[in-house]
């Protein structure tokens, strides 16, 4: 993955809700034409500086896997020039792709029903590889893939209790600090959720409260159901093919827009 070489700016993510700013932004919905007119009023150097700030900010947040809200960009970077937002993002998208190999992707609402946000997807690898590197030595990536696999093999939504039951077989417990992962419960329910790899929601009308996991929007963008099923098949280490998992393989075919009628039922 390419690294940012610029000096890190003193920008912070605004995790709180700024109602006043949201109202201002809502009242200033714009078209690209309006953004182009606003951009034309700036000097080329000023416009370029703002675009470069956006690019650098996105690269820094990508290293942390933190989605960037539109509010973050307008409040911390564009400030009094928020009218150029669409045009500045268009320039930033082009630069991120051509120079750094990242695709700027809008995800819509983020965790906690926050407003539209953006992430970067790696396009540098062209050999049909995914952004999530299953063979990575990074331990958290392996744990994430295991949890995504549990969710997928359970039909797309899985009770938190089932996830912990599976992880306990690997010596990973929600109430014990792990020598590699540290606080695993916090990792799964906060960090991976903030990064939008997982969704963690309370089961409706559950008493006592019970929670469940689903794939987050970043996971849906960065990997495929086929790749996850291939990962599961390799984990078993037997002479299995991905179509050995009948219902899951049907879901893979559906996700790819391919017919499943010819497959035999379980």
Say if residue 245's pLDDT is above 60: yes
Average pLDDT over the chain, rounded to whole? 80
Nearest to 60 by CA among 114, 112, 5, 115: 5
pLDDT of residue 108: 67
Domain boundaries, the chain: 19-122, 139-255
E strand or H helix that includes residue 46: helix 44-64
- Percent of the chain at pLDDT > 90 equals 36
Nearest to 203 by CA among 173, 233, 162, 234: 162
Tell me the pLDDT tens digit for each residue of 185-242. 999 999 999 999 999 999 999 999 999 999 999 999 888 999 999 988 888 767 788 8
Say if residue 60's pLDDT is above 60: yes
Pairing of strands 68-69, 102-108: unpaired
The CATH-assigned architecture of domain 139-255 is: Orthogonal Bundle (1.10)
Q: Residue 131: which pLDDT band, with cuts at 50, 70 and 90?
A: low
Q: Examine domains 19-122 and 139-255 and report if their fold is the same.
A: yes
Say if residue 264's pLDDT is above 90: no
**Side-chain-facing half-sphere of 217: CA atoms under 13 Å:** 20
Q: Which tokens is 26 given?
A: 């809502």
DSSP secondary structure string, 67-131?
-EEHHHHIIIIIGGGGGGHHHHHHHHHHHIIIII-EEEEEEES-GGG---EEEEEE----SS--S
pLDDT of residue 202: 95
Angstrom distance (rounded) from CA 226 to CA 221: 13
**Alpha carbon of 226 to those of 28, 120, 133, 140, 237: distances in Å?**
42, 22, 14, 21, 17
Say if residue 8's pLDDT is above 50: no
Largest CA-CA distance found in the chain, in angstroms, rounded: 65
Pairing of strands 68-69, 117-122: antiparallel
Looking up tokens 């020039």 gives: 81
**Alpha carbon of 91 to those of 96, 165, 174, 226: distances in Å?**
9, 47, 44, 34
Q: Residue 262: which pLDDT band, with cuts at 50, 70 and 90?
A: low
Q: Residue 13: which pLDDT band, with cuts at 50, 70 and 90?
A: very low
What does pTM read for this prediction?
Answer: 0.68
| CATH 2.130.10.10 given to domain 19-122 | no
Q: Positive or negative, the Cα torsion across 14, 15, 18, 22?
A: positive
Angstrom distance (rounded) from CA 229 to CA 84: 43
Non-local CB neighbours of 172 within 8 Å, separated by 6+ positions: 143, 178, 181, 184
Non-local CB neighbours of 246 within 8 Å, separated by 6+ positions: 263, 264, 265, 266
Say if residue 256's pLDDT is above 50: yes
Q: Residue 135: which pLDDT band, with cuts at 50, 70 and 90?
A: very low
pLDDT of residue 214: 97
Q: Residue 116: which pLDDT band, with cuts at 50, 70 and 90?
A: confident
């Amino acid at each position: 993955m390419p690294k940012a070489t610029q000096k890190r700016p003193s920008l912070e993510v605004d995790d709180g809700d700024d109602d006043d700013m949201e109202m201002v932004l809502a009242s200033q919905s714009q078209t690209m034409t309006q953004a182009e007119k606003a951009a034309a009023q700036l000097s080329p150097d000023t416009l370029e500086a703002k675009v470069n700030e956006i690019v650098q900010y996105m690269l820094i947040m990508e290293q942390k896997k933190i989605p960037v809200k539109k509010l973050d960009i307008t409040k911390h970077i564009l400030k009094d020039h928020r009218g150029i937002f669409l045009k500045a993002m268009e320039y930033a998208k082009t630069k991120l792709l051509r120079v750094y190999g990242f695709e700027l992707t809008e995800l819509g609402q983020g965790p906690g029903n926050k407003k539209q946000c953006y992430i970067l997807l790696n396009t540098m690898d062209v050999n049909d590889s995914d952004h999530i590197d299953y063979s990575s030595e990074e331990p958290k990536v392996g744990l994430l893939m295991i949890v995504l696999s549990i969710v997928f093999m359970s039909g797309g939504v899985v009770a938190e209790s089932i996830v912990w039951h599976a992880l306990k077989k690997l010596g990973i417990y929600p109430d014990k600090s792990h020598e590699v992962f540290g606080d695993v419960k916090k990792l799964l329910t906060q960090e991976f959720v903030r990064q939008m790899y997982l969704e963690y929601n309370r089961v409706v009308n559950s008493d006592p409260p019970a929670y469940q996991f689903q794939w987050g929007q970043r996971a849906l963008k960065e990997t495929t159901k086929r790749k996850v099923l291939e990962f599961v098949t390799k984990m078993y280490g037997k002479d299995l093919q991905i179509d050995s998992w009948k219902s899951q393989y049907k879901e893979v075919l559906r996700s790819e827009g391919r017919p499943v009628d010819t497959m035999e039922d379980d």
